[in-house]
Structure 1
């Protein structure tokens, strides 16, 4: 059985919010992307709820009367309320997991009951109908090819011990549901009454044991090998030495079951709970095979004359220099040189060392990066305008991100524990209570907002929320006529943060408020500066990472070998440095 308390906890902890992770897909690139979609949608719903609630308060709940809803106002900032959250950018890229039976995609007297994972057949029919007609039902979503392997199980709950009529398999959306899976083209099925497997025809082939009440029967597809397999009570069924059969799989395949007899009752497990069959072991074996294939690949054609260790060292060294870590690069180059000297057995051979030159631009870029990573956006803007005055003029998207990040940092500060009392006290303030505009100089930052050691926090805390609102108003005024949809949506999302007494405690807002968001802004700004200097905006290591990610995404599209490789999982497996 694919079990373990950790797996059981993992799959069940998502039930309250409708999201679940089958244990065998945990850590996969597919699930990582699916979780990104889920978090983005949850945050959007939370923000939409706040905006709608704010609008209702502003309009005295006038929405119920059918009148057009006025824009919501978050402490003086007007925001257009979108009645339906926009579709996630990932919807066309990441296929959702099947989660329940589709009550609108079934035939005859099948009844979907409970949480949508149980099906019961209650209709009585004549003998003639029973001989020729089967009622089938499909899941709400197709099997995701990008997962590489997909598997589901059913448990047969019927109490009658006589011959069962249950069959399990997969089918294309076009397959009629008045026939069992496997009897029609573009469908495959394993039938309990005879233990045979059917592939697009009503003539089957001997495959495994018959099954009935009390049995757990599973169906899986390996999209890389294009093979379908079936299990019974934790064991793969087979005919002779065949554990699975290759077929001309194409199109979207939906988990499907069919029944013929009144009283048949089944429950499906799409991964909400541990499976009886050890699908985790099958997935691990497939991943191991791909990893071994990768390990055997030579880099000789990639960089002739350089072994893997040297290539890695050069990539790291170039990354350090590219991103401005000059002193670290110099220390790393010295370490490489000492290591080569120690391994050199030829006393007459000279080991060359890398020369790391001082780079003033690198030092300046580091200074700017450090300011962004510390959340001091004003300082980053000052240094950027001082050293590279044309960069923000030529890269308005970077300028916009910096301005928005400053607003987020101000929201963070006003919501931090030492400011909670102030925020709660001031949360009811409106436009009339705060300045109409914030004093912003021509370079887009306010000198008074820069914090330095020795400043008095008491005076600053009293005006922090007002400053945040005023800054938001100036930001809104600056970009109110911008036609870009992503700009409008970003402004809507960040302004909605003010609707919460303490947004830091709302988990759906964590991606927006997380300090790690500073890194993305810092990288965008650093890349823009490098481009302005005529240099590559990305290091060789970043380029290699990006190209590998794109290639893996391409290999995952139809469930290829890329589905079994996750760069993030490889990074996560690297031993962490000890903390002192």
Structure 2
């Protein structure tokens, strides 16, 4: 595993904080959430927001039953899927089957009796795999028992539990696609309740998930990396990736410390160790300059970043290959201007609300409202408060400000407690500056025929259409994390290299590969997270 071969150097200097590599953990894999109102046999009544089902019909033959499936199939992307069913009521000599099936399986029979259908039946404890001929599997189950069903997409096995006890593998070699949790009943008033994960399970499925993850990690540990990047072995490859990342990002002192530490480890194994050669100081200067630019962008100070770029690398943004990066940096400046404006606007609104709330708590004489029967001590406290207020008025007047109306005036407090006029003037000034800069952008790029340019301009100008843009559909544009991408692009443009270091590309490509294979097979890749299992300490 990569993380085991990374030796952390001792003296590591402070570096500029960067956003960590993030996997998109919020990708939508629809999960079963209830029994389907449509995908069920007549005679079955779906209750309790889809978590319960009761049989109110009758069956005419020994083979006839009534089944229902979940609203969504079990996604392979989760690696291991599990749900539980509690038998609230089971009729005498009743037949209940719990398992899973494909969408085309008939619903007038118990699950497990037909092709692409698997189940565990309570009347005899048999398991049924796509046939009416069952095999002895577990104990019988009846009213108040909780039966769990799990499918391990890594191994292709399915298992059941009873009241939290694991019953072992019931089926193997499951490869069918889009399988739905399913239950079936035969006797009137048989009643079941399902738990698709909204409440804690009786069985400790988290422990099993961790065991599966560890099994997958063990397989990764055994992978042979000797020929991944010849002539480097695994350790040398890791060291090279880390060193290239530190140099790419401009972490000068950290890169030196790391290189020295690696060198000393290597030389400790040879008879004639060579001294460590300090890297060229000119490279350090460039790295420091790039860090200044990068930090300015991450701080949202695009003007400062542009100043540094024009000073240290005056022609880099004029190059044809970098014109789109230059455009995106200018767009980021507009976003940061609108971001400061919206923040100040929100602060002023909050101050006004607080001031009005304070005003509402005063009576007509400017006193805090109290009961008529307050004591003399309370009255003295009120008078002291009024004296403090009068003193504040005189202090403000002595600074050259116009004194507020007296306490006897009806609107005495409104102007005094609202945010300072300078704050509103600053807010107006920010908006005017943003509008002027937006007009510059429109004039410079508005006639560009490329769709991506027109869309970006349209998106950033849409910020002005909302009174609270951070809560709108364009709110993501104001997210400070958006600074990271443009900072990486500028850094790459200066270097004349890709905006991301090799190790970042490796992480992103590995993550994409895991997502793709998990969606197709649901194997070990569904249980592994690059960020959680390899990048976090």
Task: Name the SS of the counterpart of 2:282 in structure 1.
Answer: coil
Task: Name the SS of the counterpart of 1:163 in structure 2.
Answer: coil
The residue number in structure 2 matching 1:146 is 77
Deviations 1:537-572 (A, max 9, x none): 432322322332233234323112211210111256
Task: Name the SS of the counterpart of 2:171 in structure 1.
Answer: strand
The residue number in structure 2 matching 1:165 is 95
Structure 1 residue 536, shift from structure 2 partner: 4.2
The residue number in structure 2 matching 1:100 is 34
The residue number in structure 2 matching 1:350 is 274
Deviations 1:368-422 (A, max 9, x none): 3222111012333455566345567545653454344333322332233686216
The residue number in structure 1 matching 2:360 is none
The residue number in structure 1 matching 2:124 is 194
Q: 1:372 to 1:573 in 2, by over 3 A?
A: closer
**C-alpha separation in 1, matches of 2:478 and 2:298:** 13
2:433 to 455, 467, 487: 467
Structure 2 residues without counterparts, runs of 5 or longer: 1-20, 353-421
Structure 1 residue 178, shift from structure 2 partner: 1.8
Structure 1 residues without counterparts, runs of 5 or longer: 1-28, 38-93, 426-455, 575-580
Q: Is the 8 A contact 1:167 1:258 kept in 2?
A: yes
State yes or no: 1:178 paired with 2:108: yes
**C-alpha separation in 2, matches of 1:233 and 1:494:** 58
Q: Is the 8 A contact 1:145 1:559 kept in 2?
A: yes
Deviates more, 1:328-337 or 1:113-122: 328-337
Structure 1 residue 357, shift from structure 2 partner: 5.3
Q: Is the 8 A contact 2:466 2:472 kept in 1?
A: no
Q: TM-score, normalised by structure 1?
A: 0.67
**C-alpha separation in 2, matches of 1:32 and 1:267:** 35
2:343 to 397, 413, 416: 416
1:200-215 aligned at under 5 Å gives the runs 200-215=130-145
Q: TM-score, normalised by structure 2?
A: 0.72
Structure 1 residue 210, shift from structure 2 partner: 1.4
Deviates more, 1:131-140 or 1:561-570: 131-140
Structure 1 residue 235, shift from structure 2 partner: 1.5
**C-alpha separation in 2, matches of 1:118 and 1:169:** 16
State yes or no: 1:526 paired with 2:526: no
State yes or no: 1:553 paired with 2:515: yes
1:231-246 aligned at under 5 Å gives the runs 231-238=161-168, 243-246=169-172
1:285-324 aligned at under 5 Å gives the runs 285-304=211-230, 306=232, 308-324=234-250
The residue number in structure 1 matching 2:291 is 366
Task: Name the SS of the counterpart of 1:95 in structure 2.
Answer: coil
Structure 1 residue 310, shift from structure 2 partner: 4.0
Task: Name the SS of the counterpart of 1:237 in structure 2.
Answer: strand
Deviations 1:194-241 (A, max 9, x none): 211111111211111111210111111111111111111112224xxx
**C-alpha separation in 2, matches of 1:409 and 1:368:** 16
Structure 1 residue 315, shift from structure 2 partner: 1.8
**C-alpha separation in 2, matches of 1:489 and 1:264:** 59
Deviations 1:124-167 (A, max 9, x none): x2x524x2322211111111111111111111112x56333221
**C-alpha separation in 2, matches of 1:191 and 1:280:** 25
Q: 1:168 to 1:177 in 2, by over 3 A?
A: same
Structure with larger Rg: 2
State yes or no: 1:116 paired with 2:50: yes
Task: Name the SS of the counterpart of 1:313 in structure 2.
Answer: helix
